[in-house]
Amino acid sequence: MSKLLYFIFLLSIGVVFWGGWLSAPSTKTLKLNSPQTEALRREMIDMDIQLRSLASLISLGYRIPASDASRHLSDWQNENHPRMKEAFAQLVGEFKRDNTLTYATQVFSSAKQISSILKASKSPDWNLVQNHLSKILQNCRNCHVIYDVKY
Ligand code: HEC
């Protein structure tokens, strides 16, 4: 092999590896005690139920029920739970430290948008609603990718 070809060969291997390294998302691990784990799982299950019911109400075109369902996705559900309050605040602190809290706040803000679009008009722009719903899903996924959650 000529020197030039050999150089190009090495360069291309470098690009493949470097590119792979760059595109691999760096995953994080939450170190939680058991009350914090319980708070997280409860919240995720609540989010999951709310999201499913919201998606179904939107696809059926049930404006007011969909608006109500989206309000439940506009904030944490277990933040003020008397038994879980403290663990929950610590969990949110972990999200803050990992820079993942922003995914949750984006879920909340898209949900608020859905709620206000649906309340504002009797014939709302359902495509716009659908776009916000997709944004919610994207942000659930973004956070799960960081924590390597297969969901
Ligand atoms: C701020 C980060 C974050 C956001 C935003 C987020 N999740 Fe999660 N989710 C997690 C983590 C971390 C886990 C892993 C929990 C565990 O260890 O069981 C998880 C797990 C789950 C699980 C599995 C729960 C279980 O224990 O079986 C479901 C379901 C889920 N999330 C749904 C959602 C939905 C729906 C959304 C968006 C509406 C969402 N999540 C948004 C971080 C997040």
CA of 44 to the centre of ligand 1 (A): 5
Length of the chain in terms of residues written: 151
pLDDT of 30: 96
* CATH code of residue 74: 1.20.120
pLDDT tens digit sequence for 31-75: 999 999 999 999 999 999 999 999 999 999 999 999 999 999 999
Measured from the Cα of 73, ligand 1's closest atom is: 38
Tell whether 13 is covered by a domain: no
Q: What is the largest CA-CA distance in the chain?
A: 73
Single pTM value for the model: 0.87
Q: How many domains does the chain have?
A: 1
Tell whether 44 is covered by a domain: yes
List pocket residues of ligand 1, CB cut-off 6 Å.
30, 40-41, 44-45, 47-48, 51, 95, 100, 103-104, 107, 136, 139-140, 143-144, 147, 149, 151
Domain containing residue 116 = 28-146
- Model confidence at 106, pLDDT cuts 50, 70, 90, reads very high
Tell whether 18 is covered by a domain: no
